[in-house]
Amino acid sequence: MNRPTSYANVDSPVGPLTLVADGDELIGVYFENAALAAPPPGWVRDERRLRPAAIQLAEYFAGQRTRFDLPLAPRGTPFQRTVWEALLAIPYGETTSYGDLARAIGRPTASRAVGAANGRNPLSIVIPCHRVIGVDGSMTGYGGEISRKRVLLDLEARVRDARPGQRATQSSRQLDLRIAATT
């Protein structure tokens, strides 16, 4: 049975976000500057279906959530999905470099390909591509704009520092993550 693609628009401290679901699985979290200026034909506005994602994002921005507990189904190539799964292992409030991420997936010479896959992440914030920075600590490319990346990293650092002795982590085991096999 064909399920309609649902979407909802929510406000956030980093600007409006468009949430997209296929059935009950979240397939997209897009900033206002994404190519998704208007929903494609056939998409259905459904705030009720996307309410759990909207609530969890609001909790994240309020500093009350350090990991997401949502069914996810990002669409991409097998390599992209591997990179996105590795992004989930970056602890909340911490960063890593593209090279470190490439080594983590067993492809030590693929830092540019990792950067490209990072840039194609359809689940901004939820799959934390904002936690990847340049090897020198610089705020390198971010599809959601560098200013948003800085806001997200600053928020996570403040929350992390306010909870001494706690180390919050995200991993694919902690999330109900179902990576779609579609490309």
Q: How confident is the model over 35-76, as pLDDT tens digits?
A: 765 688 899 999 999 999 999 999 999 999 999 999 999 999
Question: Contact, 33 vs 144, CB < 8 A?
Answer: yes
pLDDT in tens, 75-106: 999 999 999 999 999 999 999 999 999 999 99
Domain boundaries, the chain: 78-162
The pLDDT value recorded for residue 65 is 95
CATH of range 78-162; options 1.10.10.10, 3.40.50.620, 3.20.80.10, 3.40.50.2000: 1.10.10.10
Q: Please indicate whether residue 129 is annotated as part of the active site.
A: yes
Mean pLDDT, range 111-116, rounded to an integer: 93
Q: Which of 43, 38, 123 is nearest to 80 (CA)?
A: 123
Mean pLDDT value across the chain: 85
pLDDT at residue 83, rounded to an integer = 97
- pLDDT for res 39: 80
Task: Given the residues 8, 19, 127, 129, select the one marked as catalytic.
Answer: 129
pLDDT above 90 coverage of the chain, percent: 69
* pLDDT for res 178: 31
Mean pLDDT of all residues in 100-129? 94
